[in-house]
Amino acid sequence: MCFKKKVKLYFSDSLGSLKRRLWPYKQVFVIYDARVEEYLPKLGLQGKPAYAIAATEENKNIKTAYEACKWLLEQGADREALVLAVGGGVTTDIAGFVAGIYKRGIRYANVPTSLVGQVDAGIGGKTGVNVSSFKNMIGLIKQPEFTWICPAFLKTLPEKDFLSGSAELLKTFILEDREAYEQAVDLLSAANRAPAAYGKLIEKAARIKARIVGKDEKENGLRRILNLGHTYGHAIEWYQHIHADEAPLTHGEAVAVGMVKAAALSEKRGYAAPGLESKLRDDFRRCGLSVDFPCPEQELEEAVAKDKKAEGGKINFVFIEKIGKVKVAKL
């Protein structure tokens, strides 16, 4: 099923149905997370040129992107080629960036295999790589030809990765759908990991993001709300990286902590009624998510100051007025 305008989403319950989406493309080059190699035959991608990457934040850098561009050149990829990203958010970020810079831009499509990818990272066209552990400092916005979403991938998703995606799922519903938020909390707190149980919620969240991006592709206004929890979430990831934390929070877990912080600041500024922070803490804990900073908060100031959402020395911060309604204001 195709979404409107520039943001195309397709949903399927069957891994094998991807093949028909690729029929219009004469050249398909697969860039995939080495950890999901077993899925390539199931997706009907056997025989297509494929390049494995170690899809970690440490490898999400310009060197990895360069090596992938070099591989495309060696494979003879021309301006009509399609790069197919198969993996989680790191993979779709890198592959989309590679497609955006190779020969000044070729087409790409996303097959997100993680919950984070299916509800957030694989949708909207944001691509990029990290610089000195600062998130996505080199990148561009380039819409994929389509994003193909199949909950069946979640069957073998590690628990920590599932929790990471859970945070992004909850984040999307905090933006504008309280009923879906409560449904998601109930489902996640029941520890139900059956892919079929999440299909409707994943589709709802994906469509919310696609609609927002369709109205504000370049993040000049409305799209900024999608950064809820990310200012402090990215700062936590930066801190963990430079301190070589042996058990770091995942991206989504860090964003969950960032959302709790956003709720606290929203109450402090009078945007939200008292009790919002407490509710998010309770709900997130029920879902198995982290709610507290893994380090002294003051040690995150450098990363917060360098947040890529800063303009004129001020950060466009997403505050929560209530579950289902947020606002952007300077921090």
Active site residues: 104, 126, 168, 209, 219, 223, 227, 230, 234, 251
Q: Please check whether residue 1 is in contact with residue 10, taking contact to mean a CB–CB distance below 8 angstroms.
A: yes
3-state secondary structure of 32: strand
3-state secondary structure of 217: coil
DSSP string, 231-284: HHHHHHHHHHHHTT-SSPPPHHHHHHHHHHHHHHHHHHTTSS-TTHHHHHHHHH
The count of C-alpha atoms lying within 13 angstroms of the C-alpha of 106, restricted to the half-sphere facing its C-beta, is 21
Q: Please check whether residue 110 is in contact with residue 147, taking contact to mean a CB–CB distance below 8 angstroms.
A: yes
Q: Which DSSP state fits 61?
A: S
Cα dihedral 195, 3, 161, 28 sign: positive
What does the alpha-carbon distance between residue 312 and residue 228 come to, in Å, rounded to a whole number?
20
Report in angstroms the alpha-carbon separations of 185 from 171, 174, 191, 195.
11, 11, 10, 16
Report in angstroms the alpha-carbon separations of 58 from 62, 64, 156.
11, 10, 23
3-state secondary structure of 299: helix
The count of C-alpha atoms lying within 13 angstroms of the C-alpha of 176, restricted to the half-sphere facing its C-beta, is 13
